[in-house]
Amino acid sequence: LLDECMKTLERFVTDYAKSVQQCRDLYVGPTPSERPELLVEYMMTCGNNTIQIREYFIPQLREKVDELQPAELVHYRMLERPCARAARVLSDIASACNDVVVDIFMSDVQKHCDALLTAKWLRSKIAVKTIVATLTDYVTDFKDHLQRSLLSPLLHMCWVRLLLEYVKGFIAKRFALKNKEDREEYVERLKTEVDELYELIMEDLESDERSLRLQSAIHSIVHITLSKPSMLLPEWKSLRSNFPDATIHHFEAILLVREDMGAKEVGGACLRGAGCLVCATAATRPLCVHMHAVVVDVAVVSLVLWR
């Protein structure tokens, strides 16, 4: 009976994992099909179910094994490895369900994320208000229906994805700054909105170190963008002390947003920064911003994912 239970469990978790991946490919892939009305609810239920199986069914199965007579126990110890493997797969399925939910949320707000840090965004709060309203609805559903062990990582993923949208808009220079006043209003608005989104997402949850570091990364970007030219080097030193993996290319990407610095001034500041602090990882990181063409790649993403 235990052998049959284990075979059934292994078939179940394998098929479950395939079904979740097929669902993701079908509804949130590059060419998504029209989504079923309750897809988010289905994904949350799937995630909850996998956690229930991992935390209740598998431990009960192990207890049954431990109840066997010593002569039989040696034979059935072989079930420990499949149980552990099934538990790992179930955790992966729960994470995949979370990924689908976050992808759905981001697809619902992507149009408004594309409007962030543009001239229209600076004049109007429609984009961020729509994002906040949509996020509030989602967060309410998450807190009402999702198990606690899934809630925190899901909200953290939402936070990271939204933060990356701000960073991408910032680096892409969607709005050409004309003067210092523009720059001050621009980056202060950026900082304020990021902080507000953080409070909304992380409300009632304990702030982990990674979330706080992501928020701190935005604050560092703001400081460099607003600093006087004479203070850029100290700000760069401060950023590097907090984020040792930051490279001179990150520094360059931030400086290129400033309206008061041309390519020559940015190059000079980067040379001074490189001369002051040698970044051990600089030689291995791709250049994320060319002087005349912005390339949003892995290095740009790492702006807010410094470890």
Please write down the long-range contacts of 145-149, taking CB distance under 8 Å and 24 or more positions apart.
Answer: 145/41, 145/44, 145/45, 145/48, 146/44, 146/47, 146/48, 147/47, 147/48, 147/51, 149/51
Which pLDDT value is given to residue 276?
Answer: 61
Mean pLDDT of 223-228: 87
In the chain, the largest separation of any two C-alpha atoms, in whole Å, equals 82
Instruction: Lowest mean pLDDT of 64-68, 148-152, 157-161, 286-290, name the range.
Output: 286-290
Which amino acid does the sequence have at 234?
A: P
Q: Report the DSSP beta bridge partners of residue 289.
A: 294
Judged by DSSP in three states, 294 sits in strand
Which pLDDT value is given to residue 307?
Answer: 38
Mean pLDDT of 267-278: 74
Burial of 39 (0-12, 13-18, 19+ CB in 10 A): middle
Judged by DSSP in three states, 289 sits in strand
Is the pTM higher than 0.85? The answer reads no
